[in-house]
Structure 1
Amino acid sequence: MIALSIRQPWAWFIVRPDLTDAALRAAALARGEIKIVENRMRRTRYRGRMLVHASKGCTRAEYAAALQFAKERCGFTGDLPPLEQLDRGGVVGAVTLVDCVDSHPSPWFIGHESGGLGLVLSDARPLPFFPCRGQLSLFEVRLSPDLARLAT
């Protein structure tokens, strides 16, 4: 299955494993507390279901900056797990990539500030952590049949 590496805690903001109840997830999505745009510099033609791979790297400064961004710009009011508790170096969820855009109204989109693009995401869901090596750009991950079933 196709995967995209995303640094923590951005991957966490996409899959939001803390929101196990469908009504709570829908309310958080309506409030903008779920990241629906992944900012990138390269366009992709791929559309469809893909895995969210959490990269190994994340400094304390990156973690703090991401949390500040989420609170101040996106209205995040929840509790982000401590950096040490975030899964890194493997698959943490699945999402549908629906579009690649030059602009988007979501506060998570910063392409207009950086000259980048936005990968528009939907139907994100957390998956049991599956350690694997990440790569730049989209890449293929072989999953067990059980995990592949959960991802689709």
Structure 2
Amino acid sequence: ASILAVFNSGGRVAAGMLADKIGGVRTLLLAFVLQGVNMVLFATFDSEFTLIIGTAIAAVGYGTLLAVFPTLTAEFYGLKNYGTNYGVLYTAWGIGGAIGAAVVGFSMTNGDGYTLAYTISSAMMAVCIVLAFITKPLS
């Protein structure tokens, strides 16, 4: 748990600083690439050391999202109804978490281990990368 906490916190600070320099969308793009590669590799991690590294990278990515999403919500949708928009964003996050848990359960029940979940996560990161290139603020 301390690996998650340390790298999640560090990811938030580092991502905030990076977003100030290169912008939130570019920062997210880097996080999506890092997470996509991490998910592809996670299926091959077979030692405690590689699992720790993979967990640390995942935590940095999670922290990046938590640092950058608030600013991008305001940038893309403005401050009018900011609370509602931000709430919808994190409701979607929660729904995604529930779906992810169900996918892992299905994968484990069918004897595939985490492979299906990692594959779906990698594919979704690829979609996020494409969206980061084509999405523009409303204003």
TM-score by length of 1: 0.24
Structure with the larger helix share: 2
Structure with the larger strand share: 1
For the pair shown, which has the larger CA radius of gyration, 1 or 2? 2
TM-score by length of 2: 0.25
